[in-house]
Chains A and B, each alone.
Chain A
Amino acid sequence: MASPTDDRTRRKRFEAELLPHLDALHRTAMRLTRSPSDADDLVQDAVLKAYRFFDHYEAGTNFRAWLLKVLTNVFFSKYRRQTLDSQMRALGDSDPVSDGWMGMATMAPNREPERLAEKALLEGSVLKALHELPEEFRAVLVLADVEGLTYREIADAVGCPIGTVMSRLHRARRAVATRLGITAHEPAHKAQSDGDVLSLAEFRNRKKEAVG
């Protein structure tokens, strides 16, 4: 049985590790829930869960990534509004990158470079487009581009293989790009569903064949 002194030490250690990451936790919670009150609740739930599981945190690994993993887990188990199925439909299965969003004609005015020149304006548009993404895709994009987690860390946080992370990132970014009108390309590949994942190993092997 842990002694009261052990408990106090544990609490202090946890606080010391946690407090530098509050901004990151709150920021991510805001991006995921899109609501200030839900964001506060989500951070609180996640912090309590992290505290309960603190003994399971592997010392020396990235604590921020671990906290974001707990937060993402709590978000998907308690705060998500859509099912994955409805999200896949929202992002479109036949043309996974661009359809279900906006036609190119609608987007044409956004393609004028001077409208994107202003950095703040661009940032605002990107965030707006991010917020319109289905949750599974938004989470992956936030963890990668806002929080700078590695593919391995993201895969761990959202509980899917790295290939799925790559596929979701690919699709999320093309959806954002289409929304902003900064790319007019056809999708790189026709992923029929989230199950069609990208594989780095496969790419390397194919490259070897091409070279050899």
Chain B
Amino acid sequence: MEGCDETRRYVDAWVDGELDPGAALFVETHVARCASCAEELEAIRTIKSALAASREGHAAPGSLRSRLLAALDAEDQQKVSAEQSVRRRKHASGFVLAGAALTGIALATGWRGSINGTGPVAGAAMMPPLLDDIAQRHARNLPVEVTSSEPTQVANFFTGRLDIPVRPVRFRGVSARLVGARISNVSDSMAAALYYEVGGRRVTVFMFDPAVLPRAFDTDALQPVRVNNQPAYVGYARGYTVVLSERSGVAYAVASDMPPAHTLEIMARADIQ
């Protein structure tokens, strides 16, 4: 019968209540006069209601609750000691950002890797493609397409070329210079790559569609932190540190060859509009 193919493709969405009214009407009209599609619809309904019914009577074991609370306690404990070690390091450090306090940076959890960036945070097998991609693009140091240290000129270069507004970041309280920019990619999404020299080190700031970001937390290779009270992730790939954050609907990635703590410090000093 005509319409069987379409009906069978979309009958699932009908049962799930995900079809819009027009498409739903098409399926309903067809099913009313096609016994074989009606049978198919009934089969799906039977499965769906049997699975929904299986929710009843399933309770988590009583031990699970106490086990979870204990695990959360352990996590809280780990976090306290990680913050203490950051405070200690803060006093001892004399890095390029001389005397820079780790202002506005909070580790959201216990740091399970090395805070000094002497070792990778997680093994290469766990490396998320996004992190690896950004580190590689930073590492390659491709030629710039616009050479300017003037933020408005760089912003103009990107106007009409990207779906997101590109407003060059300014860095506060540290000697920083915009070197140039080019159109790049992050996980198949077009991105702006802005090259800076911050405290004499090469730093790349990528700006891209934040739709690429949610999958970031798939992996243990990224550590959630807060920078200036905004959520951010920090990761370590191919010897580079990458800090990811989202501001006003734009994803920012700051990549550098500096250890995580110092890259976070740079992120904290970034004035993102």
Q: Which residues of A are interface residues toward B (Cβ below 8 A)?
A: 1-2, 7, 11, 14-15, 18-19, 22-23, 25-27, 30, 36, 40, 43-44, 47-49, 51-53, 55-56, 70, 73, 77, 119, 122-123, 126-127, 130, 141-142, 144-148, 150-151, 156, 159, 166, 169-170, 173, 176-177, 180, 182-183, 185, 188-189, 198, 200, 203-204, 206-207
Contact = CB atoms under 8 A, between A and B. Distances in A.
Interface string B1-29: 00011101110110010111011001000
Nearest to A185: B40
Contact of A173 (B47, B75, B226): B47
Given A25-B60, A185-B40, A203-B10, A55 B72 contact: no
B32 interface: no
B231 interface: yes
Given A56-B217, A207-B23, A40 B61 contact: yes
B55 A146 contact: yes
A2 B8 CA distance: 54
B64 A126 contact: no
A73 B217 CA distance: 8
Contacts of B218: 73, 77, 159
A27 B8 contact: no
Nearest to B225: A55
B54 interface: yes
Given A22-B65, A77-B219, A48 B72 contact: yes
Contacts of B16: 144, 151, 169
A47 B72 contact: yes
Interface in B39-53: 39-40, 43-44, 46-48, 50-53
B224 A189 contact: no
A145 B44 CA distance: 10
A11 B72 contact: yes
B215 A159 contact: yes
Contacts of A123: 50, 53-54
Contacts, number: 163
B98 interface: no
B185 interface: no
A86 to B, nearest CB: 19
A47 B108 contact: no
Contact of B224 (A56, A73, A122): A56
B262 to A, nearest CB: 17
Nearest to B56: A123
Contact of B54 (A126, A180, A200): A126
Contacts of B71: 44, 47-48
B12 A189 contact: no
B65 A11 contact: no
Contacts of B163: none
B200 to A, nearest CB: 28
Given A1-B83, A203-B6, A206-B6, 5 more contacts: A14-B72, A18-B68, A49-B217, A52-B224, A150-B18
B51 A207 contact: no
B30 to A, nearest CB: 11
B264 to A, nearest CB: 13
Contact of A52 (B19, B83, B109, B214): B109
